[in-house]
Amino acid sequence: MTGDPGENQLWQTAQALNRAAAAVSPGVASLPPLLFFTDPVRTPRPWEVAARLPRGAGVVYRGFGRPGMVEEARQLRRVTADRGVRLLIGQDIDLAEAVGADGVHLPERDLGRAKALRSRYPFWLITGALHGDAAVSGLEALDAVVLSPVFRAGGMSAVRDPLGVEVVTRYAGRAPLPVYGLGGITAETATALAGSGLCGLAAIEGVVTAFSAG
């Protein structure tokens, strides 16, 4: 960590959420408090950000099938292993296996695969995406869900209305497993999620900004 106030604030808020959730569900303590989601456009060199993440954080690498993603994933694996940061691969099970990742992150449409994956890879960390305050079956095989967008977000979530703190808090309170919040998460907006019941935070630009080299 560089000691930057924004960096400390985001990490400390994520840790506080994780500790509060772990007090209710002890298993939460084993989850990364903060997940850095990569994006080919918005995070073209994700390993540079990963190299500044604190021990215990996590990275969700999303290559989206583009050329070069195998080498990028391998580079991220080297960096995250050195930093004590867990690496999840978005959707691509073969890539996760090839680079020795710690698990996978499934898009909402693929959550039905979670049970089979849990049977095949019992020690993987498996998370899944949820968009909106909705009940989805098959969540019991996941370690956690990532609910989005919490706040107004960019990228593919820009077309979605933000859920807001009240909806996120309600969902986290009745969900059968730990819930991360994603979408518009920054060091500043994250403070509004205190007491929400989330197990941690997930972000793209918010992590890039908080863990910038400067």
Q: For residue 2, is pLDDT > 70?
A: no
Q: CA angle, corner 202, sides to 62 and 154, nearest 5?
A: 70
Dig out the tokens for 75 from the structure.
Answer: 């580079």
153-189 in b/e burial notation, b at 16+ Cβ within 10 A?
beeebeeeebbebeebbebbeebebbbbbbbbbbbeb
Q: pLDDT tens digit string along 5-62?
A: 445 899 999 999 999 999 999 999 999 999 999 999 899 999 999 999 999 999 999 9
- Whether pLDDT at 76 is above 50: yes
Average the pLDDT over 177-188 and give the result.
96
Rounded Cα distance, 33 and 24, in Å? 15
pTM: 0.94
Cα separation of 84 and 93, whole Å?
22
Confidence grade of residue 64 (pLDDT, cut at 50, 70, 90): confident
Residue 3 has pLDDT above 60, yes or no: no
Question: Could you tell me which of 6, 67, 29, 50 has the C-alpha nearest to residue 144?
Answer: 29
> Is residue 17 a contact partner of residue 191, using CB atoms and an 8 Å limit?
no
Question: What does the pLDDT read at residue 6?
Answer: 45
| Domain extent listing, the chain | 5-210
pLDDT band at 69 (very low <50, low <70, confident <90, very high): very high
The CATH code for residues 5-210 is 3.20.20.70
- Average pLDDT (95-113) is 95
Rounded average pLDDT over 118-125: 97
- Per-residue model confidence (pLDDT) at position 61: 98
The pLDDT confidence band at residue 132, using thresholds 50, 70 and 90, is: confident
